[in-house]
């Protein structure tokens, strides 16, 4: 491979050498000479498979991938971030034991003493791997835009989508229960499914009120079809909700990756299952203090100047989890089949 003197390397090393000169008091001419020699060597050093710069490049790309990984428009911004608790891509938690009783006008002493037994739990983060993408050398030279940046952005978008899909599934209940309401939509039939109505959302508010779930921190994540249902029912009312960002005490978000429910039973379908004729759409709701998210390690794997693909081949691996903390204060609104 023909080598060329790289002025960028020379300039970078010149700046570094001058900084060292200023700190340690070395002569400026001596620092300039050192930078000239080192820059020349760096320019003509072998770069096959990214020997010199691969580590730096990977760090740059992973930083770009993780920048604003939870955009403001994502419901994941509301969940507790427990990333600081991650060690070796695991989180050590504890299932809290029984709460104490409250005595009213007690006259019996001594008061009974009990100990609380917490059950330790180790939570391993899920592993999210993207498939590989190649940026061929010919494309990199001929295209007018930075294709590698575009490719990394594509990996980021897909990781964001899957992370949101996992979270939406885990932030929703398996079925209706005392602390996890699953309510059926009651609107008109559309393509064999009941439309969601404002009354349905209000009934969800009533369910949360009955569970004494704090008003501050209630989140409603609408499936786009359910959002459309509300718009068609009362556009003015929905516009008001969008302007305020709130609907019946719930802060509003939307996503297309809400979980699938059985349209007859109102039960959640297994994650990743192929949608069946008996399945239907759902929206989810939760209280932000009852759900969590955590990000662990993020790695970029690359083969630079791969001889078989005539270009750079990259993919990413991210450790992530998003869960309901107590299986409480999570809910779903689904459209039953008719």
Q: Which residues contact 123 (CB under 8 A, 6 or more apart)?
A: 90, 91, 92, 93, 321, 323
Q: Is 103 helix (H, G, I), strand (E, B) or coil?
A: coil
Between 278 and 148, name the one with better pLDDT: 278
Residue 134 — φ and ψ, nearest 5°?
A: -110, 135
Residue 222: band (very low, low, confident or very high) from pLDDT cuts 50, 70, 90: very high
Is this structure's pTM higher than 0.85? no
Same domain, residue pair 182 and 301: yes
- pLDDT tens for 287-321 read 999 999 999 999 999 898 888 988 989 999 999 99
Same domain, residue pair 41 and 133: no
Domain of residue 288 covers 55-91+125-338
Cα 196 from chain centroid? Answer: 27
Residue 114 lies in a domain: no
Between 322 and 72, name the one with better pLDDT: 322
Average pLDDT of span 68-91: 92
Same domain, residue pair 135 and 33: no
Same domain, residue pair 171 and 300: yes
Residue 166 lies in a domain: yes
- Percent of the chain at pLDDT > 70 equals 81
If one counts the domains in the chain, the total is 2
Average pLDDT of span 172-199: 97
Q: Are 233 and 195 in contact (CB under 8 A)?
A: yes
Residue 50 lies in a domain: no
Same domain, residue pair 36 and 151: no
Same domain, residue pair 266 and 216: yes
* CATH number of the domain residue 226 falls in: 3.90.1690
Same domain, residue pair 130 and 39: no
Q: Which residues contact 125 (CB under 8 A, 6 or more apart)?
A: 86, 89, 90, 91, 294, 295, 296, 319, 320, 321
Same domain, residue pair 11 and 87: no
Same domain, residue pair 41 and 129: no
Peptide bond preceding 94 in cis form (omega within 30 of 0): no
Between 338 and 77, name the one with better pLDDT: 77
Between 322 and 148, name the one with better pLDDT: 322
Residue 307 lies in a domain: yes
- pLDDT tens for 120-134 read 778 899 999 999 999
Same domain, residue pair 129 and 253: yes
On the question of pLDDT at 190 being above 70, the answer is yes
DSSP 112: P
Q: Residue 239: enclosing H or E segment and its boundaries?
A: helix 235-244
Residue 289 lies in a domain: yes
Average pLDDT of span 182-190: 97
Residue 106 lies in a domain: no
On the question of pLDDT at 1 being above 50, the answer is no
Residue 211 lies in a domain: yes
Residue 237: the pLDDT is: 96
Tokens of 287: 């209280």
Same domain, residue pair 21 and 166: no
Residue 178: the pLDDT is: 94
Same domain, residue pair 135 and 14: no
Residue 62: band (very low, low, confident or very high) from pLDDT cuts 50, 70, 90: confident
Average pLDDT of span 168-186: 97
Residue 129 lies in a domain: yes
């Amino acid at each position: 491979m023909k080598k060329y003197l790289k002025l960028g390397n020379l300039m970078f090393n010149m700046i570094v050498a001058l900084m060292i000169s200023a700190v340690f008091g070395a002569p400026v001419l001596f620092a300039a000479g050192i930078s000239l020699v080192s820059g020349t060597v760096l320019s003509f050093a072998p770069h096959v498979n990214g020997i010199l710069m691969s580590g730096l490049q990977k760090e740059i790309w992973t930083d770009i991938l993780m920048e604003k990984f939870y955009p403001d428009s994502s419901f994941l911004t509301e969940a507790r971030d427990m990333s600081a608790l991650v060690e070796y891509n695991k989180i050590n938690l504890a299932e809290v034991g029984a709460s104490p009783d409250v005595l009213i006008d007690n006259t019996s002493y001594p008061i009974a003493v009990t100990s609380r037994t917490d059950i330790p739990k180790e939570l391993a983060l899920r592993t999210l791997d993207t498939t590989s993408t190649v940026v061929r050398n010919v494309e990199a030279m001929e295209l007018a835009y930075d294709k590698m940046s575009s490719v990394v952005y594509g990996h980021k978008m897909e990781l964001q989508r899957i992370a949101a899909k996992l979270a939406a599934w885990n932030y929703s209940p398996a079925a209706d229960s005392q602390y996890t309401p699953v309510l059926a939509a009651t609107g008109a039939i559309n393509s064999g499914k009941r439309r969601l109505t404002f009354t349905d959302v209000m009934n969800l508010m009533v369910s949360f009120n009955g569970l004494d779930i704090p008003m501050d921190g209630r989140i409603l994540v609408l499936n786009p079809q359910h959002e459309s249902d509300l718009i068609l029912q009362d556009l003015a009312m929905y516009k008001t909700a969008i302007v305020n960002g709130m609907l019946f005490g719930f802060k509003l978000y939307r996503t297309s990756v809400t979980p699938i429910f059985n349209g007859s039973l109102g039960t959640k379908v297994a994650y990743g299952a192929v949608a069946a004729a008996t399945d239907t759409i759902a929206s989810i709701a939760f209280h932000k203090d009852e759900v969590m998210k955590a990000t662990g390690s993020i790695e970029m794997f690359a083969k630079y100047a791969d001889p078989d693909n005539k270009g750079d081949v990259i993919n990413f691996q991210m450790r992530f989890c998003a869960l309901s903390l107590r299986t409480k204060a999570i809910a779903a609104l689904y459209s039953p089949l008719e």
